[in-house]
Structure 1
Amino acid sequence: MIKRVMVRVVLTVMCLFVWLPLFLMAGNSLMGEWEMLDRFGAVFGAANRPVKAALLPSYPTLKPYVELLLDSPGFYVMFWNSCLQTGLAVAGQLLVALPAAWAFGALSFKGRRGMFLIYIILMLQPFQVTMVPNYLVLKRLSLLNSHLAVILPAAWSAFPVFIMAKFFETIPRPLMEAAGLDGAGSWMIFWKIGVPIGKPGIVSAMVLGVLETWNAIEQPMTFLKEQRLWPLSLYLPEITADKAAVAWAASVTAMILPVSLFVMGQGALEQGIAASGIKE
């Protein structure tokens, strides 16, 4: 009993450490210019008083959101860029990774294990390692400073293949053989058996793909030179006392879509992560 209580206390404290910055960010986005300067003036070099952080402002105001949503047209341009780049990148992952995962997980062919090992090695590589080759390839193809510079490398990610292949490996071979004997072709077996059984893996891979692309910073910063092509992750107003609340408001607004998607796909995401830990 005592052990269970201690575990709950530790988990609660850990959750508070995770959620506290988010609560502070939401509260700071409702601060006016005067209160922001009063509480965080030392951060901006405008005062010598200590920082006085609070979960809720003393005088809440929606002025930062009004300025962001009504007086900042650049915000909407970057929001659209994020939607375009994320949507096409995830669609590309689905188009490329789904048949690859089906081949690795449900089919038998010579060299399958070796090729899948290469996928795993690529997945384990830090993205900083692959950024230079990606940059050189995109430069050779004259795709730098375009939306495709962000979309194409993300579409060929190896991680979705790894997650979805684990679900396809759980499909019983006799089931596919029986479907083949009943006259079902390869496409029918994939569509009627593979996709329904692998749906949790597909959903979890897509959710993780959205989160990764939506929050990407280094890749757009490296591959995109013109600000008109920047995604929302690069939208940071000038961090001064009079614009700090707008920066907080932009951060809160940018979190709405990925957080909502994570909550809706949490069940499938947990199944995908659990399946990816299955040993062969």
Structure 2
Amino acid sequence: MRDRKSTIHKKHIFTYILLILSCLLIWIPIYMVLSGCLMRGEELTEYIGVVLDQGKGYVSWPLVPLYPTLKSFVELLFDAPQFFVMFWNSCKQVLPAVLGQFFVAVPAAWSFARYRFPCKNILFYIYIVLMILPFQVTIVSSYLVLNKLHVLDTHLAIILPAIFSTFPVFIMTKFFKGIPEEMLEAARLDGAGEGYIFFHIGIPLGNAGIISALILSFIELWNCIEQPLTFLRDKSYWPLSLYLPQISADNLGVSFIASLIMMLPAVLIFLKGQEYLEQGIVASGIKQ
């Protein structure tokens, strides 16, 4: 019995060690960004310059910055107005797109989940096909449509395709299907109309799926690169996701600060909606 308990205890220790090592591997890039924000450009070049063909030897990274400084913060926040322009461009493109997804995807998902209409399954399969197609496949057709609408080189070139994205519809439909039909029938027997059922039963009970889909859409749109490069030739409309590729080896410190600031909104949104994401994962595995 003791040998068995000892074996189980050793297995637990091995599991804990494996989990700790996995956590460290995940946190290493984040720690490098945080510590790199406090380093001078010369120090960063010394450690990782070989990656950028700025030196010879091997890549290294100290546990703590040797000479902590806030110089990079000052350079980015006070000497780089382009950064703030691109930051607000991201806000102008992402926030309306996510809001538009709410008004378009929620009713569409509710219709797929709760109503019967001609060619419903075929139309839903088309949604799935469009969802799994990579952007490179639809780039020409999307460009032609946006050009016909005369919205290229405007924020609408990013907002309009995102509003009608099929991904949120697919995610939300799963959660709306999980609402018991008996509950809806009881509401109809009590005299509730379809609009009342949608707004007072469907949306509240499906809020986990709605918020989960919108959070994932926000993160995707906040970090998108290909769409702005394709539809926005005027750099004055470029979002923040295109700021980092322009940074060179001469201002590595600024790149770490920009990475941190760009990462913060997505991380905060994720942490704020983590509970809904967890509920969504649980709900997606429950069958009526």
Fold match by TM threshold 0.5: yes
AA partner of residue 88 (structure 1): P
AA partner of residue 239 (structure 1): S
Among all aligned residue pairs of Structure 1 and Structure 2, give the percentage whose two residues are the same amino acid. Answer: 49
1:109 counterpart = 2:117: yes
Aligned to 1:119: 127
Following superposition, the deviation at residue 55 of structure 1 comes to 4.2
Deviation larger for 44-53 or 226-235:
44-53
Contact 2:75 2:254 in 1 (8 A): yes
Matches of residues 53-202 of structure 1 in structure 2 within 5 Å?
Answer: 53-202=61-210
Matches of 1:174 and 1:37, distance apart in 2: 65
Aligned to 1:40: 48
AA partner of residue 234 (structure 2): E
Aligned to 2:214: 206
Deviation larger for 167-176 or 257-266:
167-176
1:238 counterpart = 2:247: yes
Matches of 1:43 and 1:170, distance apart in 2: 50
Matches of residues 21-32 of structure 1 in structure 2 within 5 Å?
Answer: 21-32=29-40
Contact 2:47 2:60 in 1 (8 A): yes
Aligned to 1:225: 233
Q: What is the TM-score when the length of structure 2 is the normalising length?
A: 0.90
Aligned to 2:273: 265
AA partner of residue 212 (structure 1): E
Distance of aligned partners of 1:112 and 1:279 in 2 relative to their CA distance in 1, 3 Å threshold: farther
Contact 1:162 1:276 in 2 (8 A): no
Contact 1:160 1:206 in 2 (8 A): yes
SS at match of 1:183: coil
Distance of aligned partners of 1:175 and 1:278 in 2 relative to their CA distance in 1, 3 Å threshold: closer
AA partner of residue 221 (structure 1): L
SS at match of 1:243: helix
Following superposition, the deviation at residue 226 of structure 1 comes to 1.2
Contact 1:28 1:56 in 2 (8 A): no
Following superposition, the deviation at residue 276 of structure 1 comes to 4.2
**Which structure: greater helix fraction?**
2
CA RMSD of aligned residues (A): 1.9
Deviations 1:4-39 (A, max 9, x none): 444443333333222211211221121113322332
1:51 counterpart = 2:64: no
Contact 2:47 2:59 in 1 (8 A): yes
Deviations 1:126-156 (A, max 9, x none): 2222222211211222211111111111111
SS at match of 2:39: coil
Distance of aligned partners of 1:277 and 1:124 in 2 relative to their CA distance in 1, 3 Å threshold: farther
SS at match of 2:206: helix
AA partner of residue 238 (structure 1): I
Matches of 1:278 and 1:137, distance apart in 2: 40
Following superposition, the deviation at residue 112 of structure 1 comes to 2.2
Matches of 1:90 and 1:55, distance apart in 2: 39
Matches of 2:21 and 2:37, distance apart in 1: 25
Deviation larger for 124-133 or 201-210:
124-133
Contact 2:175 2:283 in 1 (8 A): yes
Give the aligned length: 279
Matches of 1:81 and 1:54, distance apart in 2: 35
Following superposition, the deviation at residue 50 of structure 1 comes to 2.9
